[in-house]
Chains A and B, each alone.
Chain A
């Protein structure tokens, strides 16, 4: 049996795709929050309605909160 046979490729692939999805996903969601709040305050200063950008920021924040809660839930499912 070669050394590569010891590797659980399924688990390793899972770590890779979950990391990519979660790492990039969280950054995108928070970037939405920053983008939304920045544009909302610009719109407010220009006398326009900031609602659309505010909603975008809230959506991003909600998504971020959901990811954090999901991450903690995943940790709590002990695999020992």
Chain B
């Protein structure tokens, strides 16, 4: 006791260090399970982060609009033309929808099981980005109440973003495919027999290899998920930007630019 009184600073340091080590050990042993405290804080920060995220997006968009007014006008013109074209397509689509509805009704009458696994998609906003500089994890504003589950796939339109790693009420954490810990099995769109694995290389791109060293993968090839592993088949991953042959491993290594622009990502879709 006397020693503790004489070395208050050192005692405080050692006890704090010990306490954090215990917390770290507990966290390591219970990795993956959602802690009640963690969820509570996550919920609290999500409440604060939601308006901040929308304010941030508003400021960014306004600033971009001021400095790029000329290109915004051109973009506006292009969008008008596209809008006219889309309206025409919409009319066609409505007619086709009616036809599809009729065919579905017919399908039900005939007890036919669809070969297409039609799934629900949930749109969500990104409210927090990882601030640690280490992981490519972000938080979205939809959670368990929307039917989101751990392992669900997150996409941007048709391109792959990542997967849900943690679900809470009102928010979920997503790890991006550009994270070094994410591995994605792929096939080449041009030749579906060429397969391999890519993972984040720490620079915002993906790098990986093909299973066959003689595979004819070339720059510009588009990669899709192969369906092996956690990601279902047919989701766009990105475009091959470099190909080289590794003599040691006798594998063709590739560098891939993801189709998703992770820096400007605001909205995502979760496949339920």
A, B from the same assembly = no
Residues of A within 8 A of B (CB): none
